[in-house]
Amino acid sequence: NTGKWLINYIMNNFNGFTEANSSNYTFIFFAVFSVGRLLGGFVVEKFGYFKTVIKSMIAAFLLFTAGILLKEKGLFLISLSGLFFSIVYPTVVLTINSVFKKNTAYITGIIIPLASVVTMIIGFLFGYMNDKLGTYITFFMIPLCILISLTSISVLNKKVQKTND
């Protein structure tokens, strides 16, 4: 949702920003996102799936939250969080193999569409909340979603570790 709403967030909350100069922050977000996707596999292979996802989510949460709280001075931090967001989705998909030993393709085929549905619902809620609460308050929904995801991944990691022990 960052890529979809960042320009709107900037233009509605900070004076002197146009679509053109606001888009610089979206460009940075997607540039570091691409670098993260390119290099993330090396990090995942070195440190492991769950450890990388958990640390990436923590880094994204800290950067994004600090970016919101610092307001205009934190826009670069929000953009930089893209580096850590980039690693999460593909790595979570890869962890399906370690969590589900049988019917992996079938389960992957269920999880990916469900994730898309959740993303659509969150996008709808984001738009609704923007209208009702304003973009600044609504942007805190992203760190909240990160915390929910982080909690879920941490619980799953503990269950997998227990199973493997």
CATH 3.40.50.300 fits 2-158, yes or no: no
What residue spans define the domains of the chain? 2-158
Per-residue model confidence (pLDDT) at position 66: 98
For 155-164, the pLDDT digits (tens) are 988 888 887 7
3-state secondary structure the chain: CHHHHHHHHHHHHCCCCCHHHHHHHHHHHHHHHHHHHHHHHHHHHHHCHHHHHHHHHHHHHHHHHHHHHCHHHHHHHHHHCHHHHHHHHHHHHHHHHHHCCCCHHHHHHHHHHHHHHHHHHHHHHHHHHHHHHCHHHHHCHHHHHHHHHHHHHHHHHHHHHHHHC
For the chain, list residues with pLDDT below 70: 165
pLDDT on residue 160? 82
Average pLDDT, the chain: 93
Q: Read off the pTM.
A: 0.91
pLDDT score for 3: 84
Q: Give pLDDT, residue 164.
A: 75
